[in-house]
Amino acid sequence: MSEQTIAELGEFGLIDLVRGRLGTSDYVLVGPGDDAAHIATADGTYVTATDILVEGRHFRRDWSTAADIGRKAVAANLSDINAMGGVATALLVAFAAPGDLPVSWVADLVGGMVEECDKVGAKIVGGDMSSAEQVILSITALGDAERPVTRAGAKAGDQVAYAGTLGLASAGYGALSRGFRSPKAAVDEHRTPHPPYAAGPAAAAAGATSMIDISDGLLADLGHVARASKVAIDLDPAAFTILDAVQTVAGALGGVDPLRFVLTGGDDYALAATFAAGTTLPDGWTKIGTVRAGEGVTVAGAPYEGGTGHKHWT
């Protein structure tokens, strides 16, 4: 019998395997399995998260400029801190690339990183470099969160809401993958997402019971909330506003249901959160569903047949 591969086990099975072999300590307030870890120090606490972007898997140099890639790499990490209700303060950047990569490309990459960091006041404070056959970026973000919000606090009766944009980046990827360079709004969002950086701290201050950023798709990521909170989540498809650019791409791709981009598309780095029933949602947040007893995520009371979102090793 052949040995099981990581593709067969899947990303989250692999995460569970790794978590089962890790220890913990009194310094670890929230460990692996959330958007960011929450760590205690001698004079306070901090939240920290890491993400890796690999050329050909997460970006293409013929689709995006170096500055676009720098902004996207940083945004993915700032978004994880945002999803804990925090604000990033510092980043560590590990960079690997082939030796024939132009120096000017790297300079533009760093410029894009700095531009995105400036949106929240964070600074790049160190990192590492190595050679590789393609460009690889691994970034660790650190930040402050007055009240870290995890994935595990949702309760039956809570309202489900989102902040930011859903479906636009995925539609942009769909357009680019077919050789199109329009609609511009969708293509630009795939290249450089715009996470709602103010929405995370606002949700935490409003008493959000759980929160997550949407990197792999709304259904997939809400599935993590449902699993961590031991609840079910049902979404109302009529609650979503589908942007014109998303509808345009859906039509150009042969009549694809535009709601699929909204429910299963990632890379917009929007936020999804749950709030107690009756809570007045902060500005920029829109109610899209309800938390119920049970398990899993449904749309209008039924499983969604269009998939759930991005999967690694597929």
How many Å apart are CA 142 and CA 159, to the nearest integer?
29
Kindly provide the b/e burial profile for residues 23-50, where b requires at least 16 CB atoms within 10 angstroms of the residue's own CB: eeeeeeebeebbbbbbbeeeeeebbbbb
Binding residue per annotation — 194? no
Structure tokens at 227: 């699993």
pTM: 0.86
Contact between 111 and 188 (Cβ < 8 Å):
no
Which regions in the chain score pLDDT beneath 50?
313
Sign of CA dihedral 204, 210, 214, 215: positive
184-191 and 244-252 are packed helices; what angle lies between their axes, rounded to 10 degrees?
100
pLDDT in tens, 271-298: 999 999 999 999 999 999 999 999 999 9
Between CA 214 and CA 232 the distance in angstroms is 18
Residue 312, annotated as binding a ligand: no
175, 113 Cβ separation under 8 angstroms: no
Residue of 55, 74, 79, 44 whose CA lies nearest to 195 = 79
Of the candidates 286, 278, 282, the one whose C-alpha atom is nearest the C-alpha of residue 205 is 282
159-299: CATH superfamily? PurM-like C-terminal domain (3.90.650.10)
Q: Binding residue per annotation — 86?
A: no
* 100 labeled binding residue: no
Instruction: For residue 34, say whether it is annotated as part of any ligand binding site.
Output: no
For the chain, the maximum distance between any two Cα atoms, rounded to a whole number of angstroms, is: 58
Give the model's pLDDT for residue 313: 38
The residue extents of the domains of the chain are 6-144, 159-299
Cβ count within 10 A of residue 17 = 11
For 6-144, CATH gives: 3.30.1330.10
Note the Cα 78 to chain centre separation in Å. Answer: 10
Rounded Cα distance between 32 and 26, Å, is: 14
Q: 26 labelled as ligand-binding?
A: no
80 marked as binding residue: yes
**Does residue 32 sit in helix, strand or coil?**
coil
Residue 213 is assigned to a ligand binding site: yes
